[in-house]
Amino acid sequence: SLSGILVYLLFDFLDRVDEFISSKVSLTSILLYFTFKIPMILSQIMPGIFFISIIILFSILYNRNEIIAILSGGIYFRRLIFFILSISVFISFLHFAVIQEAGSYGMFKSAEMWKKYVRNKELIKNDIYNKWLIDKDKVIHFERFNLSTNKGTSIKVYEVDFSNNKILRYITGDSFVYNKERIIIDKAWIFAPHSFSKEQVKQVNLKAQIDFKSLATLSSDLPQEALSFTQLTKIIEVFRKNGISVEELLATWYGKYAYSFSIIILSILGVIIVYYLKNVYKSLLLGLGLIFSYYTLFVIGSTLAKKGVLFPFLGGWLANIIFMFLILPYLFKILKE
C-alpha cells in the first residue's frame, strides 16, 4: 500500500513539478498539495491492494502447507471464506465511511490548490450562467448570478398550475437579489395570461429554495468524485426539487457504493484464485490481469452512465455485477465441498 502511494506520488510529482516551479509556488504549498493527494490515492488503490494481499497471504499459507494442516484438522475451507468475508465487510465499510470521504476531501483540496497557485483561478467560480430551475409551482430562468453579491441579471419566473397545465403569472426583470430563500426582483413586469393584463411594479418578493452554491460547484471543473457522499446526496436531493437532471450525479453516487463493495467481491475472488491455482506466481499474474479488468469495467460503466447510455445504478455497479457472475459458480462449488 505504501509503495503504491509512493509510486503514484512520484509520477504525479514528475508530471507537475515543472508547472509548480514556473508558477513560483512555494515549497510548503507543493508539499501540502501532495499531502492532500495521499488519502485520494489510498482510496483509489485500496481495493486492488487488499485483493493482491489476499492472494499473497493465501499463497504463502498454501506453500507452507498451513492451509492443508487447517483442513486436515476438520475445518472446512468455507469457514476460511467466511472469515475473509467478515474482514472484507469491515474493510469495505471503513473504506466507504472514512477513507473514501477523506479521499474526496483530498481531491477537492488538491484541485483547489492547483487552480489557485498554478492556474491563478478559483476552482469554484462566483458566476453561474443561463440556468433553468423548478421550485414547486415556479419555473425559473436567469442569465447570470454572482455568489459573492447574491445578485443576478435577466430573470424570468413562470408561476404554473401543473395540475391544469396553466401559466398563472409570468414575472420578469433585469436584475434580482436572492436572500434568505427569497427572490427579490426590482422593477418587475408581471404578465397574467388568463386576464391578458400586464403591469410594472417597483418590487416583487417570491419564495424559492435554490442552492446556488451547489449549482456553482457542479458548473466548475471539479470532478464529481471530489464531492463526498454526503455532499452528493444533498445536491441530488436539491437538484431533484429544482427539476435539474441528476443522472450524471447518480452515476457517481452509485459508483461510491460500488467501489467500496468491490473490496468484498475482490477478496472472495482472491481466495478462489489461490484455491484453484495454489501457485503464488500464477495467482498473482491472473490477479493483476483481473484487477486491471475490473478497473477498466468500472470506468466504462461510470462513463456510459454519465453519458446516459446506461441507468446510473447499472453503470455504477457494472464491474461488480460482471465479477459477481464470474465468481459465484466457483464459490458455490467450493462451499459444497
Question: For 43-94, what is each residue's pLDDT tens digit?
Answer: 999 999 999 999 999 898 888 777 777 767 767 778 888 989 999 999 999 9
What pLDDT does 2 receive? 67
Contacts of residues 301-308 at CB distance under 8 Å and 24 or more positions apart, as own/partner, are 302/251, 302/252, 302/255, 305/247, 305/248, 305/250, 305/251, 305/254, 305/255, 306/247, 306/248, 306/251, 306/252, 308/247
What pLDDT does 71 receive? 67
Beta bridge partners of residue 200, listed in sequence order = 189
Beta bridge partners of residue 207, listed in sequence order = 182
Side chain identity at residue 313, one-letter code? F
Torsion, Cα of 296, 298, 304, 308 (10° steps): -170
Cβ neighbours of 185 (radius 10 Å):
23
Cβ neighbours of 101 (radius 10 Å):
18
The pTM for the full model equals 0.86
For 41: left if phi > 0, alpha if psi spans -120 to 50, otherwise beta; the answer is alpha
What pLDDT does 233 receive? 93
Q: Does domain 127-210 bear CATH number 1.10.10?
A: no
Specify whether the CB–CB gap between 88 and 267 falls below 8 A. Answer: yes
Per domain, the residue ranges of the chain are 42-105+246-336, 127-210
Side chain identity at residue 112, one-letter code? E
- What is the 3-state composition of the chain as percent helix, strand, coil, each rounded to the nearest 5? 65, 20, 15
Torsion, Cα of 177, 183, 187, 188 (10° steps): 140
The list of the chain residues with pLDDT below 50 reads: none
Burial class (CB in 10 A: 0-12, 13-18, 19+), 8: middle
Radius of gyration of the chain (CA): 27
Specify whether the CB–CB gap between 220 and 125 falls below 8 A. Answer: yes
